[in-house]
Amino acid sequence: MKTDALNIAMFSIHSSPIGELGTRDTGGMSVYIRELAQELGKHGHRVDIYTRNNHNNPPAVMYLNDHVRLVHLDIGENGHLSKHTLYPVLEDFFKALEVFRNKDDRQYDIIHSHYWLSGRLGHWAQELWNRPHIVMFHTLGAIKNLTGVGLPEPEIRITNEKSLARSCNRILVPTEREKELLVDHYDAFPGKIGVVPCGVNLNLFQPVDRSVARRQLGFEQNESMILYVGRFDPVKGLDRLLEALTHLRDYRIRLVIVGGDGPETEDAQTLMRLSQKWGVQDIVTFEGRITQENLPPYYSAADVLVVPSHYESFGLVGLESLACGTPVVSTKVGVLDRLLQDGMNGSIVPNGCPKALALSIETFINGTSLKDSTSEVIRTSVEDYSWSNVATAIIDEYKAVCNQNLIPPAPNISGK
C-alpha cells in the first residue's frame, strides 16, 4: 500500500455496483461505482463500498480487487424494499454499517456517497466520524420532475438533496450542465461543485466489423439496425423512439431494444402495447437485459444508437457506442450534448419529438450523415474518457477536500 493511499468509504445503498444492469434501479451509477472503485484500487487506494443485502444471499464481504471490498449490509427482511421505501430504514442501515465498521476496526479518510439516499448515510458518517463527505447525486429529483414524465419524485428527495448540497463538503457532477442545474434549482454554492466526467471501459468497448457482429447476433445483414440500450424508465423516452419508427416506413429497418426487467413487467408490456399502437411491432426486437461483457457486438452491429431521453445526468451508453465506433443520435442531454458533432460522430436532436428523431436517424441509415468518419474516427471522440483518467481526477478531488479545512456540517438535514 502506498503511504499516501486513502481509505475511502463509498455508499451505494439502493443499488449494488454488481447488480443486474439495465433493470429498473440499476444502471449507470452502478457501472460508475464499480469502475471507479476498481481504478482507485489499482492506484493503491483502499475502498469499501457499502450496499444492502437485497436477499440474494451474497457473501457479507466480497473483494472486487485486492484493495476494493463490497460490504453487504443486512437489516433483516426490511432490507428487501424498493428504492422508494428505503428512506424510513436508512437509520437501520447506518447502525448495521457502524456494527461492521467497529468490528472491522476500519477508519476512513473520506466518504463518497452516491444518490440522495446514500447521501443521507454519508451525512451521518460525516458528523460521527468527522470526515469530509463528497456527494454525487447522479440525477436530481427536481430536474426529473421538470420533465413531467413518469411518477413525480417525492418532495422528501428534493428536500434532502437541498440539505445535502448545503451540508456536504463537496458535490461532484459529471457535466457543467449538472453544475448549472444545482446552482439554479438547489441554490448550491458554485465553488463547492467539482466537474469530473464519467468514463467508458475502452478495453471492453471496441469496434467489431459490423457484418461479423450481425452474424454473431443473428441479425439481418440487409436491414438498417437502430439500437437502444438502457433501463425502461419513462424518463428514457423510449415511447418517442417507437413513434419515430412510423416516420421511417420507407426503409428496411429494425429497432433492437436492450435492457429492462423482463417481458412480463409493466414497463415492458407498456412498450409492447405502444409498438402495436404505432403498428411497428414487426420491426422491433426486445432483446432483454444483456450483460456488459456481451454488449460490444450490439453496438458494433448497429447503424446508430439512439438516446431519446428527457433527462440524463451523463449518458454512459452514448460513450460505449462511440467507443465501439457507432454514431449516436441523442436528445440534448448529459455529456452527449457536448460530445456529438454533426458529420463526425452523431447528431443532437434539440427537440426530441418523434418526427425530429426520425429525420435525424434517417440520415444515418441512408448514409448522408457521416462524411468520411470511420469507426476509428468515431472512437477517437471518447479516447480521453478512460476510467483511469476519471480516477486520477477524482483522487485530486479527494486530496483537495482532505487538505482543506472542513466546513462544519449543517446541524440538521432531517428533511422533514
Contact between 90 and 117 under an 8 Å Cβ cutoff? The reply is: yes
Which SS3 state, helix, strand or coil, does residue 336 take? Answer: helix
Which residue is associated with the grid cell 457535466? 175
As given in the structure block, the three cell numbers for residue 156 are 422528501
Tell me whether residue 159 is exposed, middle or buried, using C-beta atoms within 10 angstroms of its C-beta: 0 to 12, 13 to 18, 19 or more: middle
Q: Does 229 bind ligand UDP (CB under 6 A)?
A: yes
Interacting residue with ligand UDP among 132, 197, 230, 297 (CB under 6 A): 230
The distance of closest approach from Cβ of residue 314 to ligand UDP in the complex, given in angstroms and rounded to an integer, is 5
Strands (E), 140-229: 170-173, 193-195, 224-229
Q: Does 28 bind ligand UDP (CB under 6 A)?
A: yes
Sole window of 46-54, 188-196, 225-233, 362-370 interacting with ligand UDP (rule: CB under 6 A)? 225-233
Element (H, E) at 10: strand 7-11
Q: Does 22 bind ligand UDP (CB under 6 A)?
A: yes
The distance of closest approach from Cβ of residue 13 to ligand UDP in the complex, given in angstroms and rounded to an integer, is 17
Interacting residue with ligand UDP among 186, 314, 387, 398 (CB under 6 A): 314
The distance of closest approach from Cβ of residue 138 to ligand UDP in the complex, given in angstroms and rounded to an integer, is 7
Distance CA 218, CA 220 (A): 7
The distance of closest approach from Cβ of residue 232 to ligand UDP in the complex, given in angstroms and rounded to an integer, is 10
Interacting residue with ligand UDP among 8, 9, 13, 21 (CB under 6 A): 21
Closest to 200 (Cα-Cα) out of 395, 383, 12? 383
Give 79 or 318: the residue with its C-beta nearer to ligand UDP. 318
Interacting residue with ligand UDP among 17, 27, 79, 296 (CB under 6 A): 27
Contact between 73 and 51 under an 8 Å Cβ cutoff? The reply is: yes
Sole window of 37-45, 229-237, 275-283, 323-331 interacting with ligand UDP (rule: CB under 6 A)? 229-237
As given in the structure block, the three cell numbers for residue 313 are 445526468
Contact between 89 and 81 under an 8 Å Cβ cutoff? The reply is: yes
Site size toward ligand UDP (CB under 6 A) is 20
Contact between 198 and 314 under an 8 Å Cβ cutoff? The reply is: yes
From residue 141, alpha-carbon distances to 152, 196, 248, 249 in Å are 8, 20, 35, 37
Interacting residue with ligand UDP among 317, 324, 340, 348 (CB under 6 A): 317
Q: Does 19 bind ligand UDP (CB under 6 A)?
A: no
Q: Does 156 bind ligand UDP (CB under 6 A)?
A: no
Q: Does 315 bind ligand UDP (CB under 6 A)?
A: yes
Give 21 or 390: the residue with its C-beta nearer to ligand UDP. 21
Interacting residue with ligand UDP among 320, 360, 364, 375 (CB under 6 A): 320
68-73 and 61-65 beta bridge pairing: antiparallel
As given in the structure block, the three cell numbers for residue 54 are 437485497
Phi (first) and psi of residue 202, to 5 degrees: -75, -15
Site string for ligand UDP, 263-302 (x = CB under 6 A): --------------------------xx-x--x-------
Which residue is associated with the grid cell 454533426? 342
Closest to 232 (Cα-Cα) out of 223, 241, 222? 241
Q: Does 237 bind ligand UDP (CB under 6 A)?
A: no
DSSP string over 202-215: TTTS----HHHHHH
What is the footprint of ligand UDP within residues 29-88 (CB under 6 A)? 29, 31
Closest to 385 (Cα-Cα) out of 331, 328, 323? 323
Task: Name the residue with the smallest CB distance to ligand UDP.
Answer: 27
Sole window of 107-115, 144-152, 266-274, 316-324 interacting with ligand UDP (rule: CB under 6 A)? 316-324
Q: Does 324 bind ligand UDP (CB under 6 A)?
A: no
Interaction site with ligand UDP (CB under 6 A): 21-22, 27-29, 31, 229-231, 258-259, 289-290, 292, 295, 314-317, 320
